[in-house]
């Protein structure tokens, strides 16, 4: 390969050491379309080595007290924070997100994930009951499961990897993690910090590669009793099939087709900029992004005019531009997929008010082959359109009017997903009524993406199985047993 010597070459991290691979994949810079990195194309052999390392490390790591494990997580958080700028630069280049978002959200949240679970592991309690009439005392205890298989996506690479690694090792498990082959760099960088943080060899193993090769080898391995996955529904179906013969514990955080419901008494000065952000942040490549906007008819025209105007102010630029609101999409294939939805909307008779095919995108010459597109607003579209039912996972949102509260709840719930929703109203009673009836695991009212990590995170219906958060993650990464003492 021409220019191979100049490429960044990653290695797997197994048993505390970086291990080269026999085969590599090309990884592209989304802002230029150029190959800039080589990622291991691992398979069964690397998974076997990782399982052996994780198995050997489990007795010692699980025997440590929660306090001892907490100290290690705190040290790792400190080291990540000290490398914040380096990690942010790498994340921005690897994923295509803006440097501003990487600096202010992705890497700080990755640090917070370790700090949060370092603290929460110290505060879990167990249950105890007495049966005096038979002279028995019952209590519960939790123990780590063993080797945890962790599969994280490409949209928030280090953010979502650490969201899994931190609670897993805090609970005393050892882990084998597979980041997305499209965005592997920050996971590799984190591995360089593990020994300095005091993480023993074999406790955290990172194996890079594709889903069909390394992902399936991990999921189907009989000595990996637990899989935590964030990604698409088709991949989750495959994971479920492979896990079924082994009765594995599964946590599946999948997609969304998230509605925003904007009532006539909404404060549009707050609603419009927040809804632009909720629609297009991270190029719309967040499972929580808004892709269906329902606006009450009496304010529909006003909202639409102001929303389109605000969307056009959302600057698309190269990821390293601190003033850019949006960077590049993850890959050429994904960009083409997102654009295909806009073409379908046009053939259905929908109107494209701004963005793709309407406005002009200006980029520097070296970025002309990058995977950029403008934030796009679609209207005059029917609820049964694929653009209103399928997860596009890009900077595209649909705006439609509604009449009544009952009607909009039914329409919001009409898709197979149920991850998140936002409701905008100044009527507290209405907010409570609507939030209760929405089939969504998360409902934000008059805001978006304000997270309390103690509380459950996850979706209903095809948006996943299980929840993540302080209590939920601890329960998932441990097994509970009931002990009865006759006295």
Average pLDDT of span 199-228: 98
Distance CA 22, CA 236 (A): 28
For the segment 398-423, what is each residue's pLDDT rounded down to a tens digit?
999 999 999 999 999 999 999 999 99
Residues of the chain within CATH 3.40.605.10 domain(s) are: 8-255+463-486
Element at 352 (helix H, strand E): strand 351-354
Residue percentage of the chain with pLDDT more than 70? 99
pLDDT at site 5: 56
Q: Is the pLDDT of residue 195 over 70?
A: yes
DSSP 477: T
Rounded (5°) CA angle 7-10-14: 165
Q: Is the pLDDT of residue 342 over 60?
A: yes
Reading the block at residue 359, the tokens are: 């406005």
Average pLDDT of span 352-357: 97
Q: What count of other Cβ atoms lies within 10 Å of the Cβ of residue 19?
A: 16
DSSP 200: P
Average pLDDT of span 368-393: 98
Residues of the chain within CATH 3.40.309.10 domain(s) are: 258-445
For the segment 131-145, what is each residue's pLDDT rounded down to a tens digit?
999 999 999 999 999
When computed from its CA atoms, the radius of gyration of the chain, rounded to whole angstroms, is 23
Average pLDDT of span 59-71: 98
253 catalytic, yes or no? Answer: yes
pTM higher than 0.85 for the full model? Answer: yes
Question: What is the CATH class of 258-445?
Answer: alpha beta
pLDDT at site 6: 82
pLDDT at site 76: 98
Q: How confident is the model at residue 208 (pLDDT cuts 50, 70, 90)?
A: very high
CA neighbor of 223 nearest in space, from 467, 22, 465, 44: 44
Asked if residues 252 and 286 have their Cβ atoms less than 8 Å apart, the reply is: no
Distance CA 270, CA 45 (A): 53
Distance CA 442, CA 435 (A): 9
For the segment 145-173, what is each residue's pLDDT rounded down to a tens digit?
999 999 999 999 999 999 999 999 999 99
Asked if residues 307 and 275 have their Cβ atoms less than 8 Å apart, the reply is: yes
DSSP 105: I
Q: Average pLDDT over the chain, rounded to whole?
A: 97
pLDDT at site 448: 98
pLDDT at site 4: 47
For the segment 236-274, what is each residue's pLDDT rounded down to a tens digit?
999 999 999 999 999 999 999 999 999 999 999 999 999
Q: 407 to each of 294, 404, 411, 438, 446, how far by Cα in Å?
A: 11, 5, 6, 12, 20
Distance CA 256, CA 270 (A): 24
Distance CA 186, CA 184 (A): 6
Question: DSSP letters of 358-406?
Answer: TS-----GGGTTS-----EEEES--TTSHHHHS---SSEEEEEEE--HH
For the segment 289-335, what is each residue's pLDDT rounded down to a tens digit?
999 999 999 999 999 999 999 999 999 999 999 999 999 999 999 99
Distance CA 388, CA 382 (A): 7
Distance CA 121, CA 90 (A): 30
The catalytic residue among 181, 253, 356, 391 is: 253
pLDDT at site 2: 43
Reading the block at residue 42, the tokens are: 């691992």
φ, ψ at 171 (rounded to 5°)? -80, -10
Question: What is the CATH class of 8-255+463-486?
Answer: alpha beta
For the segment 1-59, what is each residue's pLDDT rounded down to a tens digit?
444 458 999 999 999 999 999 999 999 999 999 999 999 999 999 999 999 999 999 99
Average pLDDT of span 63-74: 98
Average pLDDT of span 452-460: 97
């Amino acid at each position: 390969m021409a220019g191979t010597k100049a490429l960044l070459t990653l290695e797997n991290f197994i048993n505390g050491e970086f291990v080269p691979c026999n085969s590599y994949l090309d990884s592209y810079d989304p802002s230029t379309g150029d190959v800039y990195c080589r990622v291991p194309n691992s398979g069964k052999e690397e998974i076997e080595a990782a399982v052996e390392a994780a198995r050997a490390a489990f007795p010692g790591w699980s025997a440590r007290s929660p306090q001892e494990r907490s100290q290690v997580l705190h040290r790792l958080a400190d080291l990540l924070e000290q490398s914040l700028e380096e990690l942010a630069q790498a994340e921005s280049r690897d994923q295509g997100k803006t440097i501003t978002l990487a600096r202010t959200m992705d890497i700080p949240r990755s640090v917070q994930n370790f700090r949060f679970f370092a603290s929460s592991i110290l505060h879990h309690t167990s249950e105890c009951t007495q049966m005096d009439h038979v002279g028995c005392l019952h209590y519960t205890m939790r123990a780590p499961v063993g080797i945890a298989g962790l599969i994280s996506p490409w949209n928030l690479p280090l953010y979502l990897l650490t969201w899994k690694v931190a609670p897993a090792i805090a609970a005393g498990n050892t882990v084998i993690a597979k980041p997305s082959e499209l965005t592997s760099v920050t996971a590799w960088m984190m591995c360089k910090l593990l020994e300095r943080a005091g993480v023993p060899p074999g406790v955290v193993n990172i194996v890079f590669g594709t889903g069909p090769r390394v992902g399936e080898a991990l999921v189907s391995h009989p000595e990996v009793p637990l899989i935590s996955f964030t990604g698409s529904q088709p991949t989750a179906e495959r994971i479920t099939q492979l896990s079924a013969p082994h009765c594995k514990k599964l946590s599946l955080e999948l997609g969304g087709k998230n509605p925003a419901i904007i009532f006539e008494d909404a404060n549009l000065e707050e609603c419009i900029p927040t809804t632009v952000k909720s629609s297009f942040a991270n190029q719309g490549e967040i499972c929580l992004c808004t892709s269906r906007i329902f606006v009450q008819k009496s304010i529909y025209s006003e909202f639409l005019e102001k929303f389109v105007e605000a969307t056009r102010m959302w600057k698309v630029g190269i990821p390293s531009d601190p003033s850019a609101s949006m960077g590049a999409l993850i890959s050429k294939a994904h960009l083409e997929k997102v654009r295909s939805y806009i073409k379908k909307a046009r053939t259905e008779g929908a109107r494209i008010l701004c963005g793709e095919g309407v406005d002009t995108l200006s980029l520097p010459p070296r970025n002309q082959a990058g995977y950029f597109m403008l934030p796009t607003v679609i209207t005059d579209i029917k609820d049964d359109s694929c653009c209103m039912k399928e997860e596009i996972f890009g900077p595209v949102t649909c705006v439609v009017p509604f009449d009544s509260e009952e009607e909009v709840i039914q329409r919001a719930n009409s898709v197979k997903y149920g991850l998140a929703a936002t409701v905008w109203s100044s009527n507290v009673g209405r907010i409570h009524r609507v939030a209760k009836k929405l089939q969504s695991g998360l409902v934000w009212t008059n805001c978006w993406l304000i997270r309390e990590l103690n509380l459950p995170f996850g979706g209903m219906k095809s948006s996943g199985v299980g929840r993540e958060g302080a209590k939920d993650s601890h329960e998932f990464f441990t097994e509970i047993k009931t002990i009865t003492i006759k006295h």
